Amino acid sequence: MQKSILAIFIHNSSGAANNKSHLPLQLRAGRGFTRETVMTTTTQTISSFHFLKNPCKPQSILRPMSRTISSFHFLKNPWKPQSILRPMSRTIRASASVRSLNRKPLQKGRNLSIEAIQTVQALKLAYNNDKSLLDQILRSKFSRLLKFDMTAVLRELLRQNHCLLALKVFEDIRVEHWYKPKVLLYNDMIHVMASNGFVEEVHLLFRYLESEITGDLQFKTDEFNQLLTTLISFKLGGLVIECYEWMKSVVVGCEPDRSTFKLLVNGLESIGEFELSVVVRQDAYKIYGESLDFEAEEEIAS
């Protein structure tokens, strides 16, 4: 194979005599043109093209190309371009995590429907500008709401301290067929009314509650304890004792317990109602005997 290539190379060299740039410096100068010189020069030239030793395996040509192809390693399996998809998948996960961080958490009892929001806005607009339209809006918008939305509108008005408007809405809720008295709702309304100085409205709500607890409905002692705490915090001693009397005789399944007596005794004394506190202590003595030191008992129990 090398001899054949050598013959071809000599033939091409002799045929391209006019183009002396292919010849060595000695030949181009016209001196030393011997057979040994030609053989030596030809052998050196052929050795520089070492890839022709095996023309079926051009290693020197393919090696750079193989390195180039190896850099595109995803082409080894064109049906599974992992290197292309991985950056995209990481970008998608990152964008999803950013959206999840900006999403506000849901809060129970604070999610209003579109109808409820529109009703709140219409009621506030009518109450502030033209109160003659208030009854019309209550009939046309508020009365068409669902039970949950009606209660949500009431609580939203209380949250915004629209006390008189909330009281108007509550009076419409009381005439609904599904309405049942809830002590905790009364407690929230009384707290908002008293916080904003509407003392007469507090007494009105108290009368509403009195008229609704005389039935066969059962209430919990803890609910009335929360109402007692609210009344004591606003120094409404008369209403405190009245609520206490309800728990003893009127309300079904809501008799005062140790926590009630402790709350009343300590609370009444804290607002200066010592005479009322003595009455409660006497009642507690009738029920629990001499074990009136509730603080000592709780410390031992704890």
For tokens 């000592």, name the residue: 296
Low-confidence residues of the chain, pLDDT below 70?
Answer: 1-110, 215, 290-302
Query: H or E segment at 287?
Result: helix 274-288
153, 121 contact by CB (below 8 A): no
Q: What is the pLDDT of residue 61?
A: 46
Q: What is the pLDDT of residue 38?
A: 45
Q: How many CB atoms lie within 10 A of CB 13?
A: 17
**With a threshold of 0.75, does the pTM exceed it?**
no
Residues of the chain with CATH 1.25.40.10: 110-178
Sequence-ordered list of residues with C-beta below 8 angstroms from that of 161, at least 6 positions apart, any chain: 192, 195, 196
Q: What is the pLDDT of residue 254?
A: 85
Distance CA(282)–CA(102), nearest Å, equals 58
Nearest to 173 by CA among 145, 203, 195, 215: 145
Write out pLDDT tens, residues 156-194.
999 999 999 999 999 999 999 999 999 999 999 999 999
What distance separates the 2 farthest-apart alpha carbons in the chain? 142
As assigned by CATH, the class of the 110-178 domain is: mainly alpha
